[in-house]
């Protein structure tokens, strides 16, 4: 039996990749594709816009998505913006639909709403659905706990010119993993900007550098710099399909999970 998928943010770069991945995955079937009411894609064929040929699914507006197509969805995948993702979350709460959230840029209050919803429905909430990135998170934990505060740590991330939040959700998650391995809280260690006479680097700080340029899909480098050596853990994504395929995997996995908030470490059995 195919798992019927509803996608929110479906006409964006990630949304179109999700439509393609949904068509390619043997266990998933696109049921609904949602966009903002002002979207130029409204009422267009989702398959045609994604380059896979007509699939009979037309882009429909959020948050007014109570049509029969959405009500039949067995999983909801959201790669929109924080406000739109919370609209989708409300819909999933009302219909008891599992949801995969890959949207980033949430405030602390918005994240709390997601975790509260996890008491009612199963949720995969992860800033990056890539198998490779999630393997890197495990490697970062090992590196940070082994090298400790004797090594200066920098997280450098690069994305396309259209990405609106910085640092990326993935970079922040990497920082959280590192800080946790060091027995610290990221908020007490993070340094997000350097300009002018900044003085000597503070021991134990975790620096973040952001690049926004061209059509870069996603690159993350974590540098552990000692006095006589440097260790770097690097992940480069060359296609959004790596994230889209991971999201499909998460949607399938959620079908057998009880209410709760999970991440891709759980989906991939890496935790």
Catalytic residue numbers, as ranges: 159, 163
Task: Kindly state the DSSP code that residue 127 receives in the 8-state scheme.
Answer: S
Which residues, in sequence order, are CB contacts of 220 under 8 Å at separation 6+? 133, 136, 155, 156, 157, 168, 170, 171, 174, 234, 235
- State the Cα–Cα distance between residues 245 and 247, nearest whole angstrom: 5
Contact predicate 69/44, CB 8 Å: no
- State the Cα–Cα distance between residues 175 and 208, nearest whole angstrom: 9
- State the Cα–Cα distance between residues 52 and 23, nearest whole angstrom: 8
Closest CA to 103 of 36, 11, 170, 19: 170
Sheet containing strand 218-225, edge to edge, reads 190-191, 206-212, 152-159, 218-225, 230-237
Closest CA to 74 of 5, 26, 141, 166: 5
Question: Which residues are 75's β-sheet partners?
Answer: 5
- State the Cα–Cα distance between residues 223 and 155, nearest whole angstrom: 6
Question: Which residues are 162's β-sheet partners?
Answer: none
């Amino acid at each position: 039996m195919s798992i019927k998928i509803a996608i929110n943010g479906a006409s964006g770069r990630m949304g179109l990749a999700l439509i393609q991945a949904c068509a390619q995955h043997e266990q998933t079937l696109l049921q609904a594709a949602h966009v903002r009411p002002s979207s130029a894609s409204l009422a267009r064929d989702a398959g045609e816009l994604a380059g896979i040929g007509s699939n009979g699914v037309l882009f429909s507006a959020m948050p007014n998505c109570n049509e029969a197509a959405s009500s039949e969805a067995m999983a909801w995948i959201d790669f929109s913006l924080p406000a739109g993702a919370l609209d989708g979350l409300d819909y999933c709460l009302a219909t008891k639909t599992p949801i995969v959230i890959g949207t980033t840029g949430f405030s602390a209050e918005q994240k709390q709403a997601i975790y509260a919803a996890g008491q009612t429905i199963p949720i995969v909430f992860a800033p990056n659905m890539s198998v490779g990135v999630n393997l890197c998170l495990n490697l970062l934990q090992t590196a940070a706990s082994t090298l400790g505060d004797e090594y200066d740590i920098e997280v450098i991330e690069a994305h396309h010119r259209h990405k609106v939040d910085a640092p990326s959700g993935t970079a922040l998650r990497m920082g959280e993993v590192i800080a946790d391995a060091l027995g610290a809280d990221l908020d007490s260690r993070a340094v997000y900007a350097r300009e002018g006479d900044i003085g000597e680097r503070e021991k134990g700080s975790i620096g973040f550098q952001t690049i926004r340029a061209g059509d870069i899909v996603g690159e993350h480098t974590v540098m552990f710099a000692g006095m006589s050596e440097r260790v770097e853990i690097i992940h480069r994504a060359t296609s959004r399909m790596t994230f889209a395929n991971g999201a499909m995997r998460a949607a399938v996995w959620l079908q057998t999970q009880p209410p709760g908030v999970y991440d891709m470490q759980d989906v991939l059995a890496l935790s």
